[in-house]
Amino acid sequence: VSYRAGFFGPAERIMLGEGANIELVPGGFRQFAPILRRYAPRVMTAQATPPGPDGAVNLSLHLGATYDELVMAGQDPDRLLIVEVNPNLPRTCTLSPDFTNTIDLGLIDVVVEADGTPYAMPPTVPDEIDEAIADRACSFVTDGATLQIGIGATPDMVAAKLAGGDGGSYGIHSEMFTDGLMQLHRAGKVTNDAKTLFNGVSVTTFALGSSELYHWLDGNDQVAFVPVQVVNEPSVIARNHAFVSVNGALRVDLYGQVVADSIDGKQISGVGGHEDFVAAAELRLDDHSLICLRSTAVVDGTTRSRIVPLLPEGSVVSTPRHHTGIIITEYGAADLSGLTVRERAAALVDIAHPAFRAELADVAATLGRS
What's the CA gap between 136 and 10, in Å, rounded?
29
Closest CA to 34 of 227, 256, 182, 285: 227
Catalytic residue among 12, 69, 175, 275: 175
Taking each helix axis from N to C end, the angle separating 128-138 and 153-164, rounded to the nearest 10 degrees, works out to: 60
Active site residue 275: no
Q: Do the strands 332-335 and 326-329 form a parallel or antiparallel pair, or are they unpaired?
A: antiparallel
CB 35 within 8 A of CB 73: no
Buried b (16+ CB within 10 A) or exposed e, 171-182: bbbbbbbbbbbb
What's the CA gap between 167 and 15, in Å, rounded?
42
What's the CA gap between 12 and 19, in Å, rounded?
11
Q: Which residues contact 300 (CB under 8 A, 6 or more apart)?
A: none
Which residues are marked as active site?
175
